[in-house]
Amino acid sequence: MEFFYLLILRKCIIASLACAYTLTDEDNLHTALLTGYNKDLRPGIDRTHPLNINASFYLFSINEFDLNIGKFTITGVFEIDWYDERLSWSPASYNQTNMTVIPQNRMWLPNLINVNPYKEIKGLGSDLVNIHILYSGLCSWYALQVSEVICDADVTKYPFDTQFCTLKFFIWGYQPHEVFLNFQTMHVILTLYSENGIWDITDSTTHKKMNMYGYEEIIVGFYLKRRTAYYVVSLLLPINAIQFLLAFVFLLPPESGERLGFSTTILLSIVVYLTIIQDKLPEASEPNVSILSYMLVACVVSGAILILFVILSLRIQSCPCDKPVPRSIVRLVKCCRRKAKCCQRKRNVIDTVEPMESKSEPVVDDEVIWIEVGKCFDVMCFLIFISQISITGIIYLSLVFS
């Protein structure tokens, strides 16, 4: 509450300049001000001119933002000032009493109604709040309130998403030519704000706009950006590490007998991990489902396809030696063999020049067998799945940061 009292510091300073008045003086002042005072009538002697109201919004904290149900909860205070000529007096007549407080339920108030609440519609303030009044008739209302509003979240780029949430108010019961509200600043005042652990406020806005019915909406908006460090460490990095580990099953020797068990175990680990993190993923599907959800589905599907390729590789390498290898596969294996020999020569290059006759010797290709076909197939599968994992990650990052 000490922060709240900072808001009325400038009024208290004025009051402290002359504080010699007594309880009787203030009691007489209240009797004089409220006798015959009709709180149902708006201030303003000249009814042809609107009552000018100055407003500012101070944010204290973001309490909750539930993306699944679209509930946005904050704690803040409206500072609203206006002049009521009926509440002005001469301080000299009341022993230099230059300021007093009156409960809000005994005074006229601008009836600001929240029109996008999460539950019931209600106005600002409560009967516990007092209005600070200066001798000039300046009324200052500090409406401290916890606001729960509807905020439709866009989770397309979760967990790198940004959101825009608003509080919408009407001055209920008055036309725009009767009451004119003006924001003192174009942004929410964050001097009293306590940082939220999940959301950063990148920008804010306070303004008015005319709706389709010709009434002015009072808008207090927040541009929010999610803090992503936790999600990168606990969500994205582990799932990508498991995916890369899954591709290395093709480097296991087939004779070890562990290929199928290894790949199945890794795939089950991915499914269990996705089950654990499912509660963290927002269920909202408007306007789009999270890109991350598609990436995780692709991860499971690619893992299932990888197991099929592992089974196929084991079948190839277990084929009988007397079974002929198709010509198309023979050509592919010989191409892989030549590339492997070329790479081997480059690694074994020495400073001396080889004899010319050794270079002119024809290369005699050995017979292609099914085991060699299986090894070539393993290398291709390893490169394909590593490429697929890398491309999937690049596509995901390009979509969320576009």
What is the tens place of the pLDDT at every residue in 123-159?
Answer: 787 777 889 999 999 999 998 889 999 998 888 888 8
What's the CATH class of domain 230-346+364-400? mainly alpha
pLDDT at 88: 92
As a whole number of angstroms, the distance between CA 147 and CA 63 comes to 10
pLDDT at 221: 95
Of 121 and 90, which is predicted with more confidence? Answer: 90
> Does the pLDDT of residue 177 top 50, yes or no?
yes
What is the tens place of the pLDDT at every residue in 330-383?
Answer: 766 667 666 555 555 555 554 444 444 444 444 444 576 777 777 888 888 888
**pLDDT mean across residues, the chain:** 82
What is the tens place of the pLDDT at every residue in 309-343?
Answer: 888 888 877 777 667 767 666 766 667 666 555 55
What is the tens place of the pLDDT at every residue in 185-233?
Answer: 999 999 999 999 899 999 999 998 887 777 788 999 999 999 999 888 8
pLDDT at 312: 86
- Please enumerate in sequence order all residues whose Cβ is within 8 A of that of 197, keeping only pairs 6 or more positions apart, or say none: 227
The answer to whether the beta carbons of residues 187 and 204 sit under 8 Å apart is yes
Q: Would 2-227 and 230-346+364-400 be classified into the same CATH topology?
A: no
- Residue boundaries of the structural domains of the chain: 2-227, 230-346+364-400
**CATH code given to domain 2-227:** 2.70.170.10
pLDDT at 353: 44
> Does the pLDDT of residue 1 top 60, yes or no?
no
What is the tens place of the pLDDT at every residue in 250-295?
Answer: 888 887 778 888 888 888 888 887 777 777 777 765 667 788 888 8
pTM score, whole prediction: 0.78
Tokens of 282: 């927002």
Give the C-alpha distances (Å, rounded to integers) separating 280 from 62, 148, 230, 240, 269.
19, 22, 12, 17, 18
pLDDT at 19: 53
Q: What DSSP line would sit under 360-379, residue for residue?
A: TSPPPPPPP-HHHHHHHHHH
